Chain A
Amino acid sequence: MSFAIELVISFFLIVGGIFVLVGSIGLLRLKDLYVRLHAPTKATTLGLGGVLIGSMFYMHYAQGYITINELLITLFLVITAPVTAHILAKVALHHRVKMMQRTRNPHHVETARMQQAPQVLEDKSKDKDSNTIK
């Protein structure tokens, strides 16, 4: 295995590791749940993608296996990460999890958890009696 290929593999692995680490730092550092959702769903997925590409190159050039499983894992994660984030955000809205003081438009939470159209602030007379979510 030549030095250049080792360099490329190391680059992918280190970039992946840095992104995973940044995602976890974000998970710990950010102040409220909605903001915290951003870091793991994006950074960690891309980081894992980097590690997977690095390991795919390695398996191909060093061992001679052509493994496509990694592509499958990457694809699976790219499809499932948004779904998890969406469901967790939905759960957070339903439980009215506390949010940062400076969050803009907090009134959207009430209509969003009832799955209704957003209220214009002046128009308070809209029907809020729909407790009939599935």
Chain B
Amino acid sequence: MSSPSSVYSKLLPMPYHTVLLVIVWLMLNSSIGLGHILLGLVLGIVIPWICAPLRMHQPGVKRPLKAISYVLIVLKDIVVANIEVAILVVGPMARIKPGFVAIPLDIHQDLPITVLASTVTMTPGTVSCDISEDKKWLYVHVLNMPENEQEVIDLIKSRYESRVKEIFGC
């Protein structure tokens, strides 16, 4: 005999993933018919059963509201970044001064670092290239380097990393 909570966690090992899978299934079919909801629920329960043993523990999102505002900031930055890059690409090539920068990281779990690296790649003039084995340094290629490379590091740390840190609460 097991307690109710353990039965629950056996039946639904990843409740958020179940909800997400049902929503994605409904979006794929673009309908909210009863049959689609039932089929989505079956998929949303069976797939986590199969995938639960493969799962690695990741820190959860501690502050959903902060996460939403972060997504909005990043979306705005993506649009601005694209306009900047477009102007640089069409303009004369001599203006482009590329360079590498190593950014010291304050966060050490996999999921926050992945989020940060993806954000860095999608935003103004930076592409994340590699990460050191001890997860303390993120190597970034900068399209147009300012004279003082500390500016880039400070921008990324203050604008993105501090927010990621708050969201995941680490």
Residues of A whose CB lies within 8 Å of any CB of B are 19, 22-23, 25-26, 29-32, 34-35, 37-39, 41-43, 45-46, 65-69, 71-72, 78-79, 81-83, 85-86, 89-90, 92-93, 99-100, 102-106, 108-109, 111-113, 115-118, 133
Q: Which residues of B contact A81 (CB under 8 A)?
A: 121-122
B125 within 8 A of A: yes
Assess the A117–B137 pair: CB atoms within 8 A. Answer: yes
**C-alpha spacing A108/B152, complex, angstroms:** 16
Residues of B whose CB lies within 8 Å of any CB of A are 24, 27-28, 30, 78-79, 81-82, 85-86, 89-90, 93, 96-102, 117-119, 121-122, 125, 127-134, 136-137, 139, 141, 143, 145, 149
Assess the B127–A22 pair: CB atoms within 8 A. Answer: no
CB distance from A60 to the nearest CB of B (A): 11
Assess the B122–A68 pair: CB atoms within 8 A. Answer: no
**C-alpha spacing A92/B130, complex, angstroms:** 10
Q: Which residues of A contact B121 (CB under 8 A)?
A: 41, 81-82, 85-86
| 25 A-B contacts (beta carbon < 8 Å) | A22-B86, A25-B90, A26-B89, A35-B98, A42-B78, A42-B85, A43-B86, A43-B89, A45-B122, A46-B82, A72-B28, A81-B122, A82-B119, A90-B129, A90-B130, A93-B129, A100-B98, A103-B100, A104-B149, A108-B139, A112-B100, A112-B102, A115-B130, A115-B131, A118-B102
**C-alpha spacing A118/B129, complex, angstroms:** 13
CB distance from B32 to the nearest CB of A (A): 11
Q: With A31-B93, A46-B82 in contact, is A109–B100 under 8 Å at CB?
A: yes
Assess the B134–A117 pair: CB atoms within 8 A. Answer: yes
Assess the B81–A42 pair: CB atoms within 8 A. Answer: yes
Assess the A26–B117 pair: CB atoms within 8 A. Answer: no
Assess the B100–A102 pair: CB atoms within 8 A. Answer: no
Q: With A66-B30, A72-B24 in contact, is A29–B89 under 8 Å at CB?
A: yes
Assess the B98–A85 pair: CB atoms within 8 A. Answer: no
Assess the A117–B132 pair: CB atoms within 8 A. Answer: yes
Q: Which residues of B contact A106 (CB under 8 A)?
A: 100
